[in-house]
Amino acid sequence: MPNKLREKMLFNLAHSLLREAGSVNGYGLFSFLLFFSFFIGVVVWAFRLKKNYLNHMGELPLDSGERPIHSTDSLPSTNYEPRP
């Protein structure tokens, strides 16, 4: 397929998608851009977080600080027998 045609089809598709989405007016565009920039901001922030911090946070639920004698952290929920 010639590139020109492909481009045109893509354009038509995008065009009709936008049209089908109702009259995407200034309001819709503004809201979308608002979310999009917010989203990019969050992604950049998340990816700049330090590995140490992320590991620490991931481990948080696993240690409840319960005293060994009482601790239920490693207690199995059920009396199932792991298969060999």
Among 5, 50, 64, 84, binds another protein (CB under 8 A): 64
Distance separating alpha carbons of residues 39 and 4, to the nearest angstrom: 33
Among 3, 45, 50, 84, binds another protein (CB under 8 A): 45
DSSP state of 77: S
Does residue 73 contact residue 64 with C-beta atoms inside 8 Å?
Answer: yes
Q: Does 1 bind another protein (CB under 8 A)?
A: no
Residues that bind another protein (CB under 8 A): 20-25, 27-28, 31-32, 34-35, 38-39, 42-43, 45-47, 49, 53-62, 64-67, 70, 72, 74-83
